[in-house]
Amino acid sequence: MADGSIEVYESEGRRFPPSAEFAAAALTNDRSLYDEADADFEAFWARQARELLTWSKDFDTILEWDLPFAKWFPGGELNVSENCLDRHVAAGRGDRVAYHFEGEPGDTRTITYADLLADVERFANVLKGLGLRKGDRLAIYMPMIPELPVAMLACTRIGVAHSVIFGGFSPDAITDRCVDAEAKVIITADAGYRRGEPSALKPNVDAALEVGAPSVEHVIVVDRCGTDPMMVDGRDHWWHDLMAEAEPRCPAEPMDAEQLLYLLYTSGTTAKPKGIMHTTGGYLTQVAFTHKYVFDLRPDTDVYWCAADIGWVTGHSYIVYGPLTNGCTSVMYEGTPDTPLPEHRDGDRADWRKDRLWDIIERYGVTQLYTAPTAIRTFMKWGDEWPDAHDLSTLRVLGTVGEPINPEAWMWYHRHIGRESCPIVDTWWQTETGGHMITPLPGVTTTKPGTATNPIPGVYAEVVDDDGNAVTEGGGYLTITKPWPSMLRGIWGDEDRYRDTYWSTYEGRYFAGDGARVDDDGYIWILGRVDDVMNVSGHRISTSEVESALVDHPAVAEAAVVGATDEITGQAIVGYVILRGTASASDDLREEIRQHVAKKLGATARPKAVFLVPDLPKTRSGKIMRRLLRDVADGHDLGDTTTLADPNVVEAIRAGAEAGDDD
Ligand code: WTA
């Protein structure tokens, strides 16, 4: 039917329909939340805090703002796990499903709010029994299984801050994070199922502790895959043993609104990850608000699915804290989208069915799906036939997050998954922002493919030029102009870095690190990072982190890393490496160097390609010109190379790159 039945929107020279059309049934155009917030943004957030959350003591002040330090709702007291669990059970909704869990091998568990509360109370007693007290920190390194939210919520019940470490990270990452946070306990599992096999976790914890994290006294291990890991006497404990011995009741302790809730480490422009600090009352207010309005939530009937991993902020805010605060039912899936149920695993892996996600949506009747552009582009590549063969008619809202979505992927998502009847919410936010910041609201915003549109009610953003002047049309840098409830409160143990990274580039503004453009409708298009942070499949990795891992290899003398444009993953890591005199170049060595990075940082940081080069392009002052390396990687014209100390270097690299181009 081409575009016959719906109005066509012109965007970037392409023609697309506006989402107001496909959201027509629900289109309210109701701007009242924006108007209310614009009249008094503090009062607006105070109303949300009181209406969406249960406080054991009301706050006396809404916001104390001593730039760049914010305190939201000081004087107020509440408990996160009580907001997520007890109050729903007390209201008679204990039988409502909190999580429909599906493991990769097809095992399922239905966990009600009452079940979850019972486990959280017991596990909070386990933590107390191991000596954990309010203000302590612990680390969590787990697969996507229900024990992971249980562990997080048990922490919040007694005021212990968690630091979740993504299960794909390496032992080094565990050591660094445990040392930085002085974590007393690590909660892990023997392994988790990934791509059809158990993927070991406990051995990585052992390796991390061998290197040394002296603060860690205990390790708690869930037996997920029965892989029989080594257990150190006195240090390591089975989850099921501790749970069997624990008392069942543990009252929720009221916490100050500004009590530390969690640390989540994220990459910055240096090799050392930053421990982003989130606190209690403001964080929970904004994630509950956005989860409710951005996904047009109907908690009594919806089956919501955020297909992220809890190891990233998206999972913290939109698998655990937002959905549970709002008392809704979620799907939680352990594995990867290209691993079908065991009965569908015929022949080679390459021949396996590619419809696990669509199958899950159909079986559970999923109403909202929240995923990343990388995943969407991968589904496009696998082919329309997989989603087209399933009944996806229960879906009402589709979400995307993590990187800019190209209009083609947006349209594919809209047609093949949303069947042209679901609004798409393109949500821009960051680990640092805690919750959604810039996104359409279903039924309210007329969307356009490729833009996150405008800030949510109560959040204020501006694109500025190099001098910090607001840009009303055209390109610049994304800044936030007012404090927001779920903003980071700092970087753990590094106040100066907090000030420098976010608040010193443009006076009085939060600098997001992203480039952005304002179009003639005043819509914001996020263009990606402008600093030395790469975005690979929606995951942030710093160039210097990968460079340090490269030079850690004994054959490597010097290295430079850039994010090259990649059709599927957004950016791909490309490393340029100068070998030490004693090493000789070979394909095996290149491969070994790639794997070395994976070993140091985890598989997400493994370079897609490593090029062995005679030299690196440097300015006369010795600074590596990454722009040129990016141009080489992208196959672009090199532009101005006159500032190079030795212009011939780039040509040599380019010739080498073309010759050695592999995966
Ligand atoms: C990018 C993920 C374009 C951006 C929640 C940001 C996006 C970084 C979008 C944060 C989006 C996230 N459109 N770019 N909708 N969402 N980004 O901390 O560069 O893992 O700065 O948080 O991802 O990544 P983080």
How do strand 274-279 and strand 260-266 relate by DSSP bridges?
antiparallel
For residue 490, the CA-to-ligand 1 centroid distance in Å is 19
Atom of ligand 1 nearest to the CA of 438: 15
**Ligand 1 pocket at CB < 6 A:** 266, 312-314, 401-404, 426-431, 452, 512-514, 526, 528-529, 535, 540
pLDDT in tens, 559-617: 999 999 999 999 999 999 999 988 888 899 999 999 999 999 999 999 999 988 888 88
For residue 404, the CA-to-ligand 1 centroid distance in Å is 8
For residue 409, the CA-to-ligand 1 centroid distance in Å is 17
Confidence of residue 467 (pLDDT cuts 50, 70, 90): very high
Q: How many residues are recorded in the chain?
A: 663
**DSSP assignment letter at 605:** G
Using CA atoms, how far apart are residues 635 and 657, in angstroms rounded to an integer? 10
Q: Which of 47-56, 197-206, 326-335, 338-347 shows the lowest mean pLDDT across its residues?
A: 338-347
Q: Which of 423-427, 431-435, 606-610, 652-656 shows the lowest mean pLDDT across its residues?
A: 652-656
Residue 657 has what pLDDT?
61
CA-proximal residue: ligand 1, atom 6 (nearest)? 430
For residue 163, the CA-to-ligand 1 centroid distance in Å is 20
**Average pLDDT for residues 4-31, to the nearest whole number?**
49
Atom of ligand 1 nearest to the CA of 538: 23
- Checking if the pLDDT of 270 tops 90, the result is no
Strands of 448-538 (E only): list them: 461-464, 474-480, 490-491, 510-518, 524-529, 533-536
For residue 414, the CA-to-ligand 1 centroid distance in Å is 21
Q: Are 298 and 199 in contact (CB under 8 A)?
A: no
Atom of ligand 1 nearest to the CA of 439: 15
pLDDT in tens, 128-151: 999 999 999 999 999 999 999 999
pLDDT in tens, 42-61: 999 999 999 999 999 999 99
- Checking if the pLDDT of 65 tops 50, the result is yes
- 485 vs 25, more confident: 485
Q: Please, is 577 exposed, middle or buried when counting C-beta atoms within 10 Å of its C-beta (0-12, 13-18, 19+)?
A: buried
For residue 651, the CA-to-ligand 1 centroid distance in Å is 34
Confidence of residue 27 (pLDDT cuts 50, 70, 90): low
For 170, the 3-state DSSP assignment is coil
Q: Please give the torsion angle defined by the CA atoms of residues 416, 418, 423 and 425, in that order, rounded to the nearest 10 degrees.
A: -70
pLDDT in tens, 276-288: 999 999 999 999 9
- Tell me how many degrees the CA angle 162-164-166 measures, rounded to the nearest 5: 175
Question: Which of 540, 571, 604 to probe ligand 1 with, by most ligand atoms within 8 A of CB?
Answer: 540
Confidence of residue 385 (pLDDT cuts 50, 70, 90): very high
Confidence of residue 408 (pLDDT cuts 50, 70, 90): confident
CA-proximal residue: ligand 1, atom 15 (nearest)? 428
For residue 561, the CA-to-ligand 1 centroid distance in Å is 20
Confidence of residue 421 (pLDDT cuts 50, 70, 90): confident
Q: Mean of the per-residue pLDDT values for the chain?
A: 91
Using CA atoms, how far apart are residues 622 and 225, in angstroms rounded to an integer? 51
Residue 637 has what pLDDT?
65
| Crossing angle between the packed helical segments 32-39 and 41-52, to the nearest 10 degrees | 120
pTM, two decimals, is 0.92
How do strand 77-78 and strand 255-256 relate by DSSP bridges?
antiparallel
Confidence of residue 638 (pLDDT cuts 50, 70, 90): low
Question: Which of 169, 267, 514, 531 to probe ligand 1 with, by most ligand atoms within 8 A of CB?
Answer: 514
Q: How far is CA 406 from the centre of its chain?
A: 19
Residue 618 has what pLDDT?
81
- Checking if the pLDDT of 29 tops 80, the result is no
Bridge partners, residue 491, by sequence = 276
Q: Please, is 346 exposed, middle or buried when counting C-beta atoms within 10 Å of its C-beta (0-12, 13-18, 19+)?
A: exposed
Q: Which of 270, 255, 68 is nearest to 157 (CA)?
A: 255
Residue 653 has what pLDDT?
75
- List the CATH code of the domain at 534-658: 3.30.300.30
